Structure 1
Amino acid sequence: MIRRTSVRADGQRSEAFFSTCGVYRYGLRRVWREGADEVLFVMLNPSTADETRNDPTIERCQRRAEAMGFGGLRIANLFAYRATHPRDLKAAPAPVGPGNDALLRDWARGAALTVAGWGVHGGLLNRGPEVAGWLGPASHLGLTRDGHPRHPLYVAYATTPTPRPEARRYLRPA
């Protein structure tokens, strides 16, 4: 796993964790207040964000994390394969990525709050229900008709995370 770092002029520290081939991004972290609690968002798959730039989803999650009073943000995904469209993710031969589960488990243990937000495509390979089974306590920003946690990009900032009972989280595959 390759760790790439960046520090902005305002002091915000960023880290991105990639596979050696660059096909997978396992995690993304932004810290704007050292030593403060961090929130973990678990979404579907990474897109274009890296250690120096946000994509629209990361921007929205960071603003939400700042508004909730957190000092940092961690982003992990059900699938580590980098794709901008779900059809590309579905066509990938190994979309999870060999280092993904280890990082997900580690970051879930270290987060003050975990927010699930993989949307309707979390049923791919039954991955959403599988990860929900071992993720530990998680909140969400609403549920889809199929019972998957809504993606943060499509949820109003006014929506706050809702705790979900651990034993009954996101168990209906799409």
Structure 2
Amino acid sequence: MTTPDGTVSRHFTAPDGTVSTAVYSLCDTYRYALRRVWGDAPALAFVMLNPSTATEAANDPTIARCEARARAGGHGGLIIANLFAFRATDPRDLRAAAAPIGPDNDRLLLDMCRNAGLIVAGWGVHGVHLDRAATVRALLRDSGVRLHTLGLTKHGHPRHPLYVSYAIQPEPWT
């Protein structure tokens, strides 16, 4: 379904009743948002680097791990937003892209975060590209969004959730 803002919203309902929605650019170059809802409790949101292969109907390894963490934590859903909306499996492709952020990304990223109960930053070391991590962190902070992390790298970047033990719980990022 094409939305009034020129994005495409696609929906899927899994056999277990989980309702999934993904928002893409008309050209499919960008995935702005991914949401899975299975209950009434507030959703867990992750703000990561960029979308990979996950869709409204299928998880990739990162989304599968984020969903497992959200379910185990008693959340009613999962929201995925990214610093960059450009779809790529390799950070080198992201860095080579002419316009990796995507024209609708900031607006939709902020909207997704406002609809979550807990927001976890997890973009790893590549968020420094185009100074995007600092820009998004300021955008969210200035909008009253409190970020959490699953720990920081030795250089102070929020760890990517694919590589963090389930035993590690989100902590406020100050």
Structure-2-length-normalised TM-score: 0.93
Give the aligned residue type for 1:157. Y
Determine if the alignment matches structure 1 residue 21 to structure 2 residue 36. no
Number of equivalenced pairs: 164
Aligned runs of 1:22-171 on 2, under 5 Å? Answer: 22-33=28-39, 35-135=40-140, 136-165=145-174
1:51-104 residue CA offsets vs partner (Å, 9 max, x unmatched): 100000000000000111101000000000000000000000000000100011
Inter-partner Cα distance in structure 1 for 2:41 and 2:151: 26
Give the aligned residue type for 2:9. R
Matching residue within 5, 8, 22 for 1:2? 8
Inter-partner Cα distance in structure 2 for 1:37 and 1:70: 6
Inter-partner Cα distance in structure 2 for 1:78 and 1:102: 12
Structure 1: 4+ residue segments shifted above 4 A: none
Give the aligned residue type for 1:10. D
CA shift for structure 1 position 164:
1.4
CA shift for structure 1 position 9:
1.3
Give the aligned residue type for 1:29. R
Query: What is the DSSP-based 3-state SS (H/G/I as helix, E as strand, rest coil) of the residue aligned with 1:30?
Result: strand
Inter-partner Cα distance in structure 2 for 1:154 and 1:164: 18
Inter-partner Cα distance in structure 2 for 1:105 and 1:14: 19
Inter-partner Cα distance in structure 2 for 1:129 and 1:50: 27
Contact persistence 2:12–2:57 (CA under 8 A): yes
Inter-partner Cα distance in structure 2 for 1:36 and 1:160: 18
1:22-75 residue CA offsets vs partner (Å, 9 max, x unmatched): 000001000111x32101100000000001000000000000001111010000
The sequence identity of aligned pairs, in percent, is 59
Give the aligned residue type for 1:108. C
Give the aligned residue type for 1:6. F
Query: What is the DSSP-based 3-state SS (H/G/I as helix, E as strand, rest coil) of the residue aligned with 2:34?
Result: strand
Query: What is the DSSP-based 3-state SS (H/G/I as helix, E as strand, rest coil) of the residue aligned with 1:18?
Result: strand
Aligned to 2:4: none
1:108-150 residue CA offsets vs partner (Å, 9 max, x unmatched): 1111000000000010000001111121211000101221100
Inter-partner Cα distance in structure 2 for 1:31 and 1:164: 26
